Amino acid sequence: MIGIDPGINKLGYSVIENFKILECGILKPPSKLTFEEKIEFILKNFKKILEKYLPDIVSIEEVYVAKNVKTALNMGILVGGIISVILSYNIKFFLIPPSEIKKMITGKGSATKEQVKFMVENLTNFYNFKNFEETDATASAISAIFKLKEKCFTL
């Protein structure tokens, strides 16, 4: 399972198996790149992660708020590109709203990033997250596991 916390300047990802972190990190394009070059950078590097692990499912935290319309549209372009790459490998994906992820991880849909991090660390026994993007990506992956166990989604 791969979890994604989408972002154009920093995309968090986490690869987990049975609640064990195999790899997590961020894809951070150089700031001097144009928007189009950032998308290309992220998709190229995301593809390498997919090829390395070939997961059954990728869980993407749904983008629900943006500071302005242009940011929202740009995030939509990024997520659409990620979904296109996922589908090119015939991999299933889920889009899960942030409040649903928070509720599944902490029991509270309005949980803070610190609360999510605390619970993710305890669920995975991994305490070396470098940033909230990694934590959020891991929370997305764990939420998909919970949804599958509840049989809310079928493959």
Domain ranges (residues) in the chain: 2-150
> pLDDT, tens digit, for every residue of 14-38?
999 999 999 999 999 999 999 999 9
SS3 content of the chain, % helix, strand, coil (to 5): 50, 20, 30
Please, which residues bridge with residue 27 across strands? Answer: 11
How many other CB atoms sit within 10 Å of the CB of residue 131? 16
Q: Which two tokens stand for residue 64?
A: 């629900």
Q: Where are the alpha helices (DSSP H) in 54-155?
A: 69-88, 98-106, 113-124, 132-150
CATH of region 2-150, choose from 2.30.110.10, 3.90.25.10, 3.40.50.300, 3.30.420.10: 3.30.420.10
Model confidence at 40: pLDDT above 60 = yes
Q: Which residues contact 43 (CB under 8 A, 6 or more apart)?
A: 81, 82, 85
Tell me the whole-structure pTM to 2 decimals.
0.93
